[in-house]
C-alpha cells in the first residue's frame, strides 16, 4: 500500500492478514510509519533518475508544466501520492507491481535538490542573476 500527503512525503507498506480488511489496515499503518520526504521541484522532479529493485527497472524524467503523469499504473500511484504532477517514466524489466513500486520509491528517495547538493558541499546558494 502506498500512502502520501501529496506535498513531498510518501511511504510504502505491506500488510498480511487472514482477512482482507486486516491486511489493508496493517499495510496502511506500515506505510504511514515509513513516510519519508522526497525532493520536488514545483510539480515535477529536480533531475532524471534510474533505479532497480529485483528485476524491475524504473526511469523517471522531469517534465514541463502541463505534461501530466506519463507513466504506468503502479508508478502513477506512487508519484501521485508524493505530489508529483508532471513526469515522464519508463518501466523496464519485471512487471511485478510490488517490485515496480519499490523501484519507483527508491528512485524518488535518490532525488536531491540543487540547494541540498550545494549545502552538502559547503557552498552557498546564489539566486539566479536577472538579465
Note whether 69 and 80 are within 8 A (CB): yes
In whole angstroms, how far apart are CA 113 and each of 25, 48, 92, 125? 34, 12, 26, 11
Which pLDDT value is given to residue 129?
A: 64
pLDDT > 80? residue 131: no
* pLDDT, averaged across the chain: 92
Residue 48: CATH number of its domain: 3.30.230.10
β-bridge mates for residue 62, sequence order? 87
pLDDT in tens, 39-64: 999 899 999 999 999 999 999 999 99
The pTM (predicted TM-score) of the whole model is: 0.87
User: Environment class of residue 125 by beta-carbon count within 10 Å: exposed (0-12), middle (13-18) or buried (19+)?
Assistant: exposed
The better pLDDT of the pair 16, 130 is held by 16
Q: Domain total for the chain? A: 1
Tell me whether residue 126 is in a domain: no
Tell me whether residue 129 is in a domain: no
pLDDT > 70? residue 130: no
Tell me whether residue 119 is in a domain: no
pLDDT in tens, 63-89: 999 999 999 999 999 999 999 999 999
Tell me whether residue 72 is in a domain: yes
Tell me whether residue 92 is in a domain: yes
Tell me whether residue 24 is in a domain: yes
Q: What range defines the domain where residue 34 resides?
A: 2-114
Task: Return d(Cα 88, Cα 71) in angstroms, integer.
Answer: 6
Average pLDDT score over residue span 29-37 = 94
Tell me whether residue 38 is in a domain: yes
Amino acid at each position: 500500500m502506498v500512502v502520501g500527503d501529496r506535498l513531498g512525503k510518501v511511504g510504502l507498506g505491506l500488510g498480511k492478514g487472514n482477512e482482507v480488511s486486516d491486511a489493508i489496515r496493517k499495510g496502511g499503518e506500515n506505510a504511514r510509519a515509513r513516510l519519508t520526504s522526497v525532493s520536488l521541484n514545483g510539480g515535477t522532479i529536480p533531475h532524471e533518475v534510474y533505479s532497480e529493485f529485483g528485476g524491475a527497472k524504473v526511469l523517471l524524467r522531469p517534465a514541463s508544466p502541463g505534461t501530466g503523469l506519463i507513466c504506468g499504473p503502479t508508478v502513477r500511484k506512487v508519484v501521485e501520492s508524493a505530489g508529483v504532477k508532471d513526469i515522464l517514466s519508463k518501466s523496464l524489466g519485471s512487471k511485478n507491481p510490488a517490485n515496480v513500486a519499490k523501484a519507483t520509491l527508491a528512485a524518488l528517495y535518490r532525488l536531491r535538490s540543487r540547494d541540498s547538493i550545494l549545502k552538502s558541499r559547503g557552498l552557498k546558494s546564489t539566486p539566479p542573476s536577472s538579465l
